[in-house]
Amino acid sequence: MRSVILASMRTYARRYVAALVAVLIATGFIVAINVLSAAAREGANETVGKQYRGADVAATDANGPRQYAQLRKRALADPDVTAAAVNWRGWTEATLSRGAQMVSLGSVATDRSLRWQATRSGRLPTGGGEIAMSSSWARRHHVGLNDSLTLDIGARSRTFTVSGIVDDQDGPLRSVLYLPERAFPGLGDVGEPVDEVFAVSGDPAAVASRLDHATSGVSVSTAEAYERTLRLQATNGIDIFQKLILVFAAISLFVGALVIANTFTILLAQRARDLALLRCVGAVRAQVARSVVVEGLMIGAVGAAAGVVVGYLVALGGKAAIAHWSPSTPMGGTSLTPGSLLLPVLLGIVVTVAASYVPARRAGAQSPLAALQPQDAVKVRTRAGALRLVMAVGFLLVGAAGLLVGLQSVLVAGLVGGMFSFVGVLLLTPVLVPAAIRLAGPLARRAGVPGRLAHGNSLRNPRRTAATSTALLIGVTLITAVVVGSASISNKVNTSLDDNHPVDLIAAPSKGALPHGVGAKLAAVDGVSQAIELPGIDARVGGQEMAVLGVDKAARALVRGNVLRDLGPDDVVVSGGTGNVAPGDTTTVKAGRTIHELTVRYAAGLGDAAIVSRSTLDAMGTATTPRAAWVRATDGADAGAVTADVASIAKSSDLDLTGGLPERADILKLLAIVLAVTVGFLAIAVLIALIGVSNTLSLSVLERVRENSLLRALGLERSGLRAMLAIEALLMAGVSAVLGIGLGSLYAWFGVKTLADGIFESAPDLTVPWVQVGVIFLVAAASGLVACVLPARQAARIAPAAGLVAD
């Protein structure tokens, strides 16, 4: 039997390509993701480790500097403790030539063995007037060694001399400026201690437990354990991200399995006579089935091995890209552990073998007589068997149950449900696709004789049609689900950001009027597109004292989203937490001598003041003063820089600063990453689907050399034959595209509801990006057409006589 397997694999090598590529892509994807996220995690770990380099024991959660000082005294009394240092963090304002700027402060340990900063030039600060700064900040603000720098400390300013420039080092203690540890207690409430670290000569665990017992309210542990908790905080994001990507990986494996199963089905239908002859001369069912499974095993092994190599190369490329585009992201080495290597290979092989199992069984059950019939009589069963229907219904029911359970945010159930139900749909394709094609009949008949022939052809053998459509159906469903799903989620993210943070930044005094000129100052900040001062008045709203602001057209234009769009003259907007008025109630607003009955509306993110339309405010009296400044940042501006600049202006004018700009920026950045991953995933899906389509179409054309030759012999022109095959391809592609788009949207709905539960307050609605969906349809139809060009040319070139005797 081995010689048969080897010989047929050699002979039909070209036909295995699709299956091979499917395995390769699926395993490669997993390997690349694994390697990259492991590198990211390692990078995050390293950063934590670097900042606690000399520490053996760490203490945290102490109640203020005093308790840390006590702990230090007690620790240094312990003969095993050789050094101690408190890590400080703080924020203050630095005066620069361009104006003031908020900066972060960190500490340099007094004891050399506990210092973690790496100097690039100069030395670390030790004396009272010395300071070090990170190299990137120094470069950006043109500050050099020995320059002086003025910081805002409490109510005074103090001047420091730059003694050293240090490397930027990511991690929990990363700061822009570094002062000696000793300097912090004299800085008032500018800085506060984060934790305390100790170098130890003996067993760290013993020292940690001694110290832990000796102090109450402070948790002391080994530095190793402490770093682990810090690391978890740092890498949580990466782990969540990896989970999301592994969901994609699971889907891509599943799709790979479907493509493989489909390829095998077609491959074996091609070889039906070979297999039947094998049965004639004495191969038992199990032998035939086993030979097919062995083929699957070999394809799985080769594809998975190639996938590991390709995936690793992609990961290397990805790491290089990250290093180039985002140098501050810490990345560890891209090492391959035996586990991260074996698991995908094993998965690839298992999936391939499993996917070949059903076609293999079917091949084994082939009657030996099939070899003796003329080829046309070798019919793949034309009616969807009852068993198939029962199975399809079973899969659909289980799948539906899984999807419904998934809606309770059980991701795994949703995933499995999606897979089961999709298999159910695929089992139904021999019924579904021909039915849909029948509907498209009138369209095809317009194209004359070739059209009629094509329509008939695609209906004559439902199984063949279904097998061909399946590849495309898989691809289109997947792509639609991803496109619609990500559009829905990103739309939801944007609207919920707009609802919760309609204004980027709000600067307002805790009481009274805005100082003169704040609006102009804010508008001048780099990255601010608009800054508006809002007039207001003190009033009683529903019995509570608060400022009432009036918004005019310009202010409404600055607000994101729709919260203020239909604010009428009789409405008043308050934040949800104010007073005891409910939305829809009427409330009394007393301002000066005027009394207004206004309808209450809630909105978040607009500050503490109540908001009415400008005309309503004007009706409340003339004694209005500017009460708040609303700022809108330019889209794409560096949110951190804009916020820092606005914050320093607010601080200098003694204003409170609120607003969702930093959060919005963070979330949008994350969303952009997720979308980028999705697009990459999409490209892979398109690739798998295209390969599947061209493979199945070319096989189904080659399968019919004889009957095509007969048509030619009977007088169908070469161009007519080509047209017939093209129309057939278009019919199948169009029908699969329509079905796939419908199915994909349905899956997107389930996916979005399942994934988004717990992230958003209310589940997002389905957003269908019609343009993209239209493009999907066109691409699907075009790919069907393109995939049939080559085989159609080939079929048309065969001389009728040659084709008729072909076996």
Partner 1 sequence: MTVLDPPTTIPAIAARATGLTKTYGSGEAKVHALAGVDLTIETARFTAIMGPSGSGKSTLMHCLAGLDQATSGQVQVGDLMLSSLSDNELTRFRRRHVGFVFQAFNLLPMLTAKQNILLPLDLAGLDPDWAWFDELIEVLGLGERLGHRPSQLSGGQQQRVAIARALMSRPAIVFADEPTGNLDSRSSAEVLGFLRRSVRELGQTTVMVTHEPSAAAYADRVVLIADGRVATQIDNPTQDSILDALRRIGG
Our CB check for partner 1 shows the closer of 566 and 807 to be 807
Strands 57-60 and 219-222: antiparallel
Minimum Å gap between C-beta 344 and partner 1 is 32
Q: Report in angstroms how near the CB of residue 374 gets to partner 1 at its nearest.
A: 9
Residue with tokens 């097998």: 467
Q: Residue 536 forms beta bridges with which residues?
A: 549, 625
Q: Which of 12, 91, 357, 602 binds partner 1 (CB under 8 A)?
A: 12
Between 118 and 365, CB nearer to partner 1 = 365
Cβ 8 to partner 1, closest distance in Å? 5
Instruction: Tell me which of 8, 37, 458, 480 binds partner 1, using CB under 8 A.
Output: 8
135 binds partner 1 (CB under 8 A): no
The 258-297 contact track toward partner 1, x by CB under 8 A, reads: ---------------xx--xxxxxxxxxxx----------
Sign of the CA dihedral with 272 first, then 274, 277, and 283 last: negative
With contact defined as beta carbons under 8 Å apart, do 497 and 666 qualify? no
736: tokens are 């699969």
Instruction: Find all residues with CB under 8 Å of 659, minimum gap 6, and list them.
Output: 501, 503, 504, 505, 506, 605, 631
Q: Whole-number minimum distance, CB 7 to partner 1, in Å?
A: 4
Between 196 and 274, CB nearer to partner 1: 274
* Helices and strands (DSSP H and E) totals, the chain: 23, 19
Q: Residue 86 has which token pair? A: 């408190």
Which phi and psi (to 5°) does residue 591 adopt? -135, 120
Q: How far is the CB of 703 from partner 1 (least distance, A)?
A: 15
Residue 805 C-beta: closest distance to partner 1, Å? 10
Q: How many residues bind partner 1 (CB under 8 A)?
A: 27
Residue from 566, 654, 761, 807 touching partner 1 (CB under 8 A): that is 807
Of 704 and 722, nearer to partner 1 (C-beta) is 704
- Alpha-carbon gap, residue 567 to 571, rounded angstroms: 6
Closest CB to partner 1 among 7 and 679? Answer: 7
Pairing between β-strand 571-574 and β-strand 594-602 as defined by DSSP bridges? parallel
What secondary structure, in 3-state letters, does 440-452 show? CHHHHHCCHHHHH
Nearest in space to 418 (alpha carbons), one of 251, 276, 589: 251
Residues 225-254 that bind partner 1 (CB under 8 A): none
3-state DSSP assignment of residue 101: strand
Its sign, for the CA torsion 199, 203, 209, 215, is negative
The values of phi and psi at residue 546, to 5°, are -160, 165
CB of 801 to partner 1, least distance (A): 16
Q: Identify the DSSP state of 13.
A: G
The HSE-up count of residue 201 (CA atoms within 13 Å, CB side) is 8
Which of the stretches 10-18, 322-330, 604-612, 706-714 binds partner 1 when contact is defined by CB under 8 A? 10-18
Question: Strand 219-222 and strand 505-508: pairing?
Answer: unpaired
Q: What are phi and psi of 775, to 5 degrees?
A: -65, -40
- Neighbour-count burial of 551, counting CB atoms closer than 10 A to its CB (0-12 exposed, 13-18 middle, 19+ buried): buried
* CB-nearer residue toward partner 1: 17 or 641: 17
801 binds partner 1 per the rule CB under 8 A = no
Nearer to partner 1, 139 or 379 (CB): 379
628, 549 Cβ separation under 8 angstroms: yes
Decide whether 277 or 670 has the Cβ nearer to partner 1.
277
Shortest Å, Cβ 285 to partner 1: 6
User: In the complex with partner 1, which residue's Cβ is closer, 124 or 272?
Assistant: 272
In the bound state with partner 1, the residue whose beta carbon lies nearer, of 282 and 715, is: 282
Q: Which is nearer to partner 1, 284 or 679 (CB)?
A: 284
Long-range pairs for 579-582 at CB < 8 Å and ≥24 separation? 579/541, 579/542, 579/543, 579/544, 580/542, 581/541, 581/542
Least distance to partner 1, CB of residue 702, Å:
14
- How would DSSP label each residue in 458-483? HHH-HHHHHHHHHHHHHHHHHHHHHH
Residues in the chain: 807
* CA separation for the pair 303, 299 (Å, rounded): 6
Build a one-symbol-per-residue string for 356-385: x at contacts with partner 1 by CB under 8 A, - elsewhere: -----------xxx-xx-------------
What's the closest the beta carbon of residue 378 comes to partner 1, in angstroms?
Answer: 11
CA dist 793 and 725 (Å) reads 10
Q: How far is the CB of 274 from partner 1 (least distance, A)?
A: 6
Binding test (CB under 8 A) with partner 1, winner from 3, 97, 216, 580: 3
C-beta of 290: minimal distance to partner 1 in Å?
Answer: 11
Residue 28 phi/psi, 5-degree rounding, is -60, -40
Helix (H) / strand (E) element for 541: namely strand 528-541
Q: Are strands 177-180 and 99-108 parallel, antiparallel or unpaired?
A: parallel
Phi, psi (deg, nearest 5) at residue 131 = -150, 150
Which C-beta is closer to partner 1: that of 468 or that of 709? 709
Nearer to partner 1, 15 or 319 (CB): 15
Residue 412 as a binder of partner 1 (CB under 8 A): the answer is no
Smallest gap from residue 278 Cβ to partner 1 (A): 7
Q: In terms of CB distance, is 95 or 375 closer to partner 1?
A: 375
Smallest separation (angstroms) from partner 1 to the CB of 10:
7
The 309-348 site mask, x for binding partner 1 (CB under 8 A), equals ----------------------------------------
- Helices 338-364 and 17-51: crossing angle, nearest 10°? 160
Q: How far is the CB of 296 from partner 1 (least distance, A)?
A: 18
Helix (H) or strand (E) holding 740: helix 718-756
Least separation in angstroms between CB 271 and partner 1: 9
Give residues with Cβ within 8 angstroms of 310, minimum separation 6. Answer: 24, 28
Binding mask 415-454 for partner 1 (x = CB under 8 A): ----------------------------------------
How far is the C-alpha of 503 from the C-alpha of 556, rounded, in Å? 10
State the minimum distance, in angstroms, from the CB of residue 770 to partner 1: 50
Residues of 20-42 as b/e, b for ≥16 C-beta within 10 angstroms? bbbbbbbbbbbbbbbbbbbbbbb
Q: Is 13 in the site for partner 1 (CB under 8 A)?
A: no
Q: Residue 430 class from Cβ within 10 Å (0-12 exposed, 13-18 middle, 19+ buried)?
A: buried
Q: Which is nearer to partner 1, 2 or 156 (CB)?
A: 2
By C-beta, is 493 or 705 nearer to partner 1? 705
- Residue 377 CB, nearest approach to partner 1 (Å): 12
Decide whether 367 or 562 has the Cβ nearer to partner 1: 367
DSSP 123: -
Nearer to partner 1, 8 or 47 (CB): 8
Q: What residues numbered 525-584 form the site for partner 1, per CB under 8 A?
A: none
Write out the residues near partner 1 by the rule CB under 8 A. Answer: 1, 3-4, 7-8, 10-12, 273-274, 277-287, 367-369, 371-372, 807
